[in-house]
């Protein structure tokens, strides 16, 4: 069963917040007489924080989840009116998403999403066990919040883009070997990056020759007593595509390194990129998590 800071109102079929009443409130209105005591939590007349934590989801094996949540809300006693998320509580709802290798969710990796300051989900990795906590609160509702449902699915379709003719000198900030290439789309998780150099770089090809010689045991001959012909080394300037390596990905960029194949020196070139990944999901205006339309 899910857990909540409120309780499950079976009459409404919704999770609603607990009120602040204690036994001492039985001495005061409206609970001073049996006739007035019609509802235990009726003293809540405005929106109140409510959190709901799902059961632990066992995926059977470690998987990456790009979550889409459909959050259904209403007002206590008026479930047909959804919760209004406004600027008075601009960072509600919040989502705490957890992934763990352990069935008790110990040592979990987490990410917290807030509606305005941190609405975007980025992948936290592959885990077998998953759990989410959603917290809602808004300041203008005339009745306590209620959660009527929280639907879940994981994205499976990838988006893709092509970057043509990017000169990597434009991605060099001078502080490292990494060349940062901006992307047009935003990703929750990048799954593939194809890198194709379209220009060549100058490098040096080094070749060498050696001649056969005799084995000389220095115990019998003084060092330097024998002389034989040595090998030769020559260098030739060549033009060749660079070696490229993907070193990092971010929601809107990738970082690569380029090297001259023989010398190993860092270099630059013009490249094409082919990128595939999961699109960004974020908290939407209605409090759900999904793709922005």
More confident residue, 271 or 30: 271
Which residue's entry shows tokens 């939407």? 284
CA–CA distance, 160 with 138 (Å, rounded to integer) = 37
Q: What is the mean pLDDT of residues 87-111?
A: 92
Residue 211 has pLDDT above 80, yes or no: no
Domain boundaries, the chain: 3-154, 157-293
| CA-CA-CA-CA torsion sign (13, 19, 24, 28) | negative
> Which of 74-78, 113-117, 133-137 shows the lowest mean pLDDT across its residues?
74-78
pLDDT of residue 144: 81
| Other Cβ atoms within 10 Å of 11 Cβ, number | 6
At 234-252, the pLDDT tens digits run 788 888 899 999 999 999 9
> Which of 15-19, 35-39, 250-254 shows the lowest mean pLDDT across its residues?
35-39
More confident residue, 94 or 141: 94
- Give every CB contact of residue 271 below 8 A, 6+ residues apart in sequence: 163, 166, 168, 181, 195, 196, 197, 198, 244, 256, 258
At 213-227, the pLDDT tens digits run 555 555 555 555 555
C-alpha distances in angstroms, 210 versus 49, 223, 229, 230?
A: 81, 21, 9, 6
pLDDT of residue 86: 75
Helix (H, G, I), strand (E, B) or coil at 114: strand
CA–CA distance, 110 with 122 (Å, rounded to integer) = 11
| Per-residue exposure over 227-240, b if at least 16 CB sit within 10 Å of its own CB, e if not | eeeeeeeeeeeeee
More confident residue, 22 or 198: 198
Q: How many Cα atoms within 13 Å fall on the side-chain side of residue 147? A: 31
Closest Cα to residue 89, out of 293, 228, 283?
283
Helix (H, G, I), strand (E, B) or coil at 27: helix
pTM (two decimals): 0.77
The band of 17, judged by pLDDT with boundaries at 50, 70 and 90, is: confident
More confident residue, 240 or 163: 163
Greatest extent of the chain over all pairs of C-alpha atoms, in Å = 122
Alpha-carbon Rg for the chain, nearest whole angstrom, is 32
φ/ψ of residue 178, rounded to 5: -75, 135
Peptide bond into 28 cis (omega under 30): no
Helix (H, G, I), strand (E, B) or coil at 123: coil
pLDDT of residue 137: 78
Q: Most confidently modeled of 29-38, 43-52, 88-97?
A: 88-97
Q: How many Cα atoms within 13 Å fall on the side-chain side of residue 143? A: 16
């Amino acid at each position: 069963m899910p857990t909540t800071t409120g309780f499950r109102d079976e009459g409404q079929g919704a999770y609603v917040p607990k009120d602040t009443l204690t036994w001492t409130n039985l001495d005061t209105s409206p609970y001073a007489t049996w006739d007035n005591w019609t509802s235990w939590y009726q003293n809540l007349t405005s929106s109140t924080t409510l959190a709901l934590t799902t059961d632990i989801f066992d995926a059977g094996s470690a998987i990456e989840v790009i979550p889409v949540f459909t959050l259904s809300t209403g007002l206590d006693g008026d479930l047909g009116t959804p919760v209004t998320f406004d600027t008075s509580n601009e960072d509600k709802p919040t989502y705490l998403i957890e992934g763990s290798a352990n069935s008790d969710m110990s040592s979990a990796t987490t990410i917290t999403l807030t509606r305005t300051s941190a609405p975007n989900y980025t992948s936290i990795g592959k885990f077998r066990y998953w759990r989410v906590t959603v917290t809602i609160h808004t300041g203008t509702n005339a009745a306590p919040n209620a959660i009527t449902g929280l639907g879940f699915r994981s994205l499976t379709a990838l988006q893709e883009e092509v970057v043509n003719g990017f000169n990597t000198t434009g991605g060099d900030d001078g502080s490292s070997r990494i060349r940062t290439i901006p992307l047009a789309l935003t990703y929750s998780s990048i799954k593939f990056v194809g890198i194709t150099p379209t220009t060549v770089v100058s490098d040096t090809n080094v070749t060498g020759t050696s001649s056969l010689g005799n084995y000389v045991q220095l115990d019998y001959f003084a060092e330097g007593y024998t002389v034989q012909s040595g090998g030769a080394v020559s260098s030739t300037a060549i033009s060749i595509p660079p070696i490229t390596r993907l070193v990092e990905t971010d929601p809107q960029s990738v970082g690569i390194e380029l090297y001259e194949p023989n010398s190993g020196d860092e270099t630059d070139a013009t490249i094409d990129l082919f990128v595939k990944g999961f699109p960004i999901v974020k908290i939407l205006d209605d409090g759900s998590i999904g793709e922005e339309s």
